[in-house]
């Protein structure tokens, strides 16, 4: 151990694990057989593949916080004298371990300490079978003024029973690691596969890998880590992450990270999530995309991918780019594996969801489970979508309002009323509306059998029952033919367009893969009368509801936002009743 100036006996004694007073310990079958946290936030880890602890002196790993000109941390850090001047945390409480060590119920340690005007709650969790554990640090400001702090998670690596090694940094994820040193054939030292990695889950972190005393010295200076790595140098090294945090009075800020340990060099995979568009009107579609990246040198198989939609959002059946439909349980979608992520590559899945009527910012959540001992790093809620306030309806004829852009709930009196099975009236609401290929800018009286295109607009349709009762509904985002049988109060909209003739060719060539625009046709409806949308594989009959229907190569999907819809599955010859929040996919014939 260059620079420590310890005799062999002292070195041996320094590496003998001994639980500090008040430490809480997770013990498991492994591969992390011990995860230990002291009452003042030292950390210690044993891996089943090593005969010595993962950090120098067992507990030269710590959480530290610099705030108000003072550095707070554990009372003792082996060979950590450079992290000074340092004031010990005030010990408050420690609970654990709790849990069963499973994905649904991990082992958990919770430790609470004080640091000036900050109350720090650290939650460490571990799932048996994984080579990483998670640390969540919550900084609560108990004072009356803003608190600025620098949070550190750092350690003095003792990797593969050796105190010297190389470094590794990943600019894409912000992760930093120590790598073991192994001897080449001619006696030269070179990086080996074994790693000990600090992986940030919360954004805004900086990393550092250098000599152990440089790492602790940087902490002692109360400065953020510089984002550098002496990766190619053989060093008695340490590594860590830091975050600059601003905590308003009475508020709490959370920063989360992983620490991974792997003799085989397996490092965590990462998930990126995105949404498009990022601002929508209520009832419109949002496309979510999850991209899983694999930095490892071998392919990794995922056993499942899970997505929890924001509150009020609803999955559109048949919209997934994955080979199969997800299993939906409330807002949670589970995509079953196996899903292969190529070495040093990535894979993506996308799907659509319907935005709710509640305005404001909505966040998505995603996770995945990998096979063969690999870890997929958790991802914080993200892919923010802002749902707009519902647009107000302005009565026709209001001064300053362009003619034909915003209309009231009744057709204009200057045209003839609709007649059952013979004609309907249309009033354009917004955008571009085509009738039999021609744009309309004001109310029109059209015959049954006309083709209406609302792909880039919205229209209100008025029709008549056999007794002359007028009913109306608004339709948008699709093309359809208007139909009505004599004596039938129901007005039918038959979906048109969409290149569904490409489905058989497409299924042979690119089954299970996304390849640009998919064949399909769709329409949204929102109204109070009797209407029926007719797709390729099913029909949807409604009265007083808001609904969505779409034809794709997978089948005809129907989704209810409000009210009740009765779906008729043509192939199965059955009728399904859907209520708000429910959906149904009538599979296409194979």
Q: Return the closest-CA partner of residue 559 out of 576, 527, 584, 534.
A: 584
Which residue ranges form the domains of the chain, and what is each CATH number?
Answer: 8-262 (2.70.98.40), 270-387 (2.60.40.2260), 423-587 (2.60.120)
pLDDT of 69 reads: 96
Token readout for 220 is 């002692």
Cβ–Cβ contacts within 10 Å for residue 274, how many?
16
User: Cα 473 to chain center, whole Å?
Assistant: 36
pLDDT of 399 reads: 32
Q: Where are the beta strands (DSSP E) in 203-313?
A: 205-211, 228-229, 237-247, 252-262, 270-276, 279-280, 285-294, 300-308
- With vertex at residue 577, the alpha carbon angle to CA 575 and CA 581, rounded to the nearest 5 degrees, is 140
pLDDT of 480 reads: 95
List of the chain residues with pLDDT < 70: 1-21, 323, 391-414, 504-518
pLDDT of 470 reads: 83
pLDDT digits (tens, 9 = 90+) for 399-448: 333 333 333 344 444 578 889 999 999 988 888 999 988 898 888 889 99
* CB-CB contact of 397 with 306 (8 Å): no
What 3-state DSSP class applies to 132?
A: strand
pLDDT of 518 reads: 58
| CA pair distance 258, 239, nearest whole angstrom | 13
**Is the pTM for the entire model greater than 0.85?**
no
pLDDT digits (tens, 9 = 90+) for 43-90: 999 999 888 999 999 999 999 999 999 999 999 999 999 999 999 999
Distances (CA, A) of 210 to 42, 215, 216, 218: 20, 6, 10, 10
pLDDT digits (tens, 9 = 90+) for 111-163: 999 999 999 999 999 999 999 999 999 999 999 999 999 999 999 999 877 89
Element spanning 13, H or E: helix 8-14
């Amino acid at each position: 151990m260059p620079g420590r100036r310890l005799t062999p006996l002292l070195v041996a004694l320094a590496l003998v694990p001994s639980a500090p007073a008040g430490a809480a310990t997770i013990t498991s079958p492994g591969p992390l057989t011990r995860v230990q946290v002291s009452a003042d936030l030292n950390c210690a880890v044993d891996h089943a593949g090593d005969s010595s602890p993962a950090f120098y002196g067992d507990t030269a790993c710590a959480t530290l916080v610099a705030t108000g000109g003072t550095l707070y941390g554990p009372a003792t850090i082996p060979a950590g004298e450079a992290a000074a001047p340092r004031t010990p945390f005030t010990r408050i409480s420690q609970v654990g371990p709790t849990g069963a060590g499973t994905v649904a119920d991990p082992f958990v340690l919770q430790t609470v300490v004080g640091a000036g005007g900050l109350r720090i709650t650290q939650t460490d969790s571990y799932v048996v079978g994984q080579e990483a554990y998670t640390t969540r640090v919550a900084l609560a400001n108990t004072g009356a003024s803003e608190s600025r702090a620098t949070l550190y998670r750092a350690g003095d690596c003792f990797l593969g029973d050796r105190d010297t090694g190389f470094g590794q940094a990943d600019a894409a994820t912000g992760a930093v690691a120590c790598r073991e040193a192994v001897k080449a054939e001619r006696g030269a030292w070179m990086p080996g596969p074994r790693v000990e990695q600090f992986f940030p889950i919360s954004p805004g972190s900086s990393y550092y890998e250098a000599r152990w005393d440089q790492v602790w010295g940087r902490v002692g200076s109360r400065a953020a880590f510089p984002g550098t790595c002496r990766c190619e140098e053989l060093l008695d090294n340490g590594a860590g992450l830091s975050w600059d945090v601003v905590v308003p009075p009475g508020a709490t800020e959370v920063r989360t990270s992983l620490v991974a340990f792997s003799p085989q060099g397996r490092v965590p995979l990462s998930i990126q999530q995105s949404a498009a568009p990022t601002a929508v009107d209520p009832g419109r579609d949002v496309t979510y995309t999850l991209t899983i990246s694999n930095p490892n040198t071998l392919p990794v198989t995922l056993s499942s991918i899970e997505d929890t939609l924001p509150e009020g959002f609803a999955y559109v059946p048949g919209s997934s780019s994955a080979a199969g439909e997800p299993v939906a349980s409330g807002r949670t979608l589970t995509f079953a594996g196996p899903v292969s992520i190529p070495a040093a590559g990535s894979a993506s899945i996308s799907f659509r969801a319907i935005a709710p009527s509640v305005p404001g910012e909505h966040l998505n959540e995603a996770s995945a489970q990998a096979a063969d001992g690999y870890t997929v790093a958790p991802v914080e809620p993200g892919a923010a979508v802002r749902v707009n306030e519902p647009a107000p309806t302005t009565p026709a004829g209001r001064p300053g309002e362009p003619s034909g852009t915003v209309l009231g709930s009744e057709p204009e009196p200057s045209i003839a009323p609709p007649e059952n099975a013979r004609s309907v009236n249309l009033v354009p609401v917004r955008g571009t509306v085509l009738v039999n290929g021609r744009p309309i800018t004001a109310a029109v009286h059209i015959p049954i059998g006309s083709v209406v295109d609302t792909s880039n607009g919205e229209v209100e349709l008025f029709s008549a029952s056999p007794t002359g009762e007028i009913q109306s509904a608004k339709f948008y985002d699709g093309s359809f033919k208007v139909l009505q049988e004599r004596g039938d109060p129901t007005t039918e909209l038959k979906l048109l367009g969409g290149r569904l003739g490409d489905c058989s060719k497409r299924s042979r060539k690119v089954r299970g893969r996304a390849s640009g625009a998919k064949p399909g046709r769709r329409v949204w409806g929102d109204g109070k009368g009797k209407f029926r949308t007719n797709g390729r594989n099913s029909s949807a009959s409604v009265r007083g509801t808001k609904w969505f229907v779409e034809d794709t190569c997978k089948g005809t999907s129907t989704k209810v936002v409000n009210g009740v819809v009765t779906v008729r599955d043509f192939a199965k010859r059955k009728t399904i009743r859907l209520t708000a929040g429910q959906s149904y996919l009538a599979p296409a014939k194979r």
